[in-house]
Amino acid sequence: MTDDVDWTVAGREAASDEAAADFACPSSTSDYLEVNTIITHGRLASCDGFVDSESGRVHFSHVFRFASTSKAAKIKEARTYLTQE
């Protein structure tokens, strides 16, 4: 991620620093992760799936915008949508 990454989780305030991934991802230990779909095009990427843990199942969808189209480009912006069963 870039140093000035903006990460928004639907229903929460955005985070704009290097700890943004901690802000966006559940803190419990995962028992199982399934990624259903990954789509990329140019500077954009998206993935969705679910995570199972002791606290239940969380469905996720992440949308990423990269700093450039380079294969080594860092994430500049992310939006996350979470629902819990």
Q: Which residue has the tokens 């799936």?
A: 49
Question: What are 49's strand-pairing partners?
Answer: 35, 60
Number of domains in the chain: 1
Is residue 67, in this structure, part of any structural domain at all?
A: yes
The two structure tokens encoding residue 52: 């199972």
Domain housing 32:
6-84
Phi/psi at 21 (5° precision): -65, -35
- Structure-token pair, residue 5: 């990454």
Q: Are 33 and 58 in contact, with CB atoms under 8 Å apart?
A: no
The first and second tokens of residue 54, run together, are 């002791």
Quick check: is 1 in a domain? Answer: no
Residue 50, domain CATH: 3.10.450.50
pTM value > 0.85: no
Per-residue model confidence as pLDDT tens for the chain (85 residues): 888 888 888 887 776 765 666 656 656 678 899 999 999 999 999 999 999 988 899 999 999 999 999 989 999 999 999 998 8
